[in-house]
Amino acid sequence: MRGFKAFLLRGNVVDLAVAVVIGGAFTMLVTAFAAAFITPLIALLFGKHDAFSGFSFQINGVLFSFGPFINALVTFVMIAAIVYFFVVVPINWLIERSRREKPADPTTRKCPECLSEIPIAARRCAFCGQPVATQA
């Protein structure tokens, strides 16, 4: 029982569970956005929101109904575009903006003699013992 408890409380399992729950909620959000805003735009363009469901062809009496596939493909492209433009682009912009911020002041420098990392305020290298000029 201890091993099972350790497995459940391991960080990866908890992180995965949280990701699945958030993913489900995010799926509902994107689907609702598509239904509320994108589907009406398609209805404006094609006259109805389910414009392709009637597409089919017949060969030797066998009906090939490819309209539902076209509808699913259009829905996929719409949702992918929504996720890209409303999630990926803003997140990438925020990440890029945070990277442009001024980096922190360095706390070390290289010894001119042995090229070891030494503290900025050091007057002598701890590795080679050579005196180094202090930086102001």
Contacts of 126 (CB under 8 A, 6+ apart): 116, 118
pLDDT at 72: 82
3-state secondary structure 35-88: HHHHHHHHHHHHCCCCCCCCCCEEECCEEECCHHHHHHHHHHHHHHHHHHHHHH
CA 67 – CA 44 distance, rounded (Å) = 19
Amino acid 89: pLDDT: 93
Domains by residue range for the chain, with CATH? 2-99 (1.10.1200.120), 104-136 (no CATH)
Residue 11 is predicted with a pLDDT of 67
Give the whole-number percent of the chain exceeding pLDDT 90.
Answer: 14
Position 106 confidence tier, pLDDT thresholds 50, 70, 90: confident
For residue range 12-62, what is the model confidence (pLDDT) as tens digits? 777 788 889 998 998 888 888 888 887 788 778 777 767 777 889 999 999
Judged against a pLDDT cut of 80, whether residue 103 lies above it is answered with no
The pTM of this model reads: 0.51
pLDDT confidence of residue 41:
80
Distance of CA 44 to the CA centre of its chain: 32
Model pLDDT, residue 62: 92
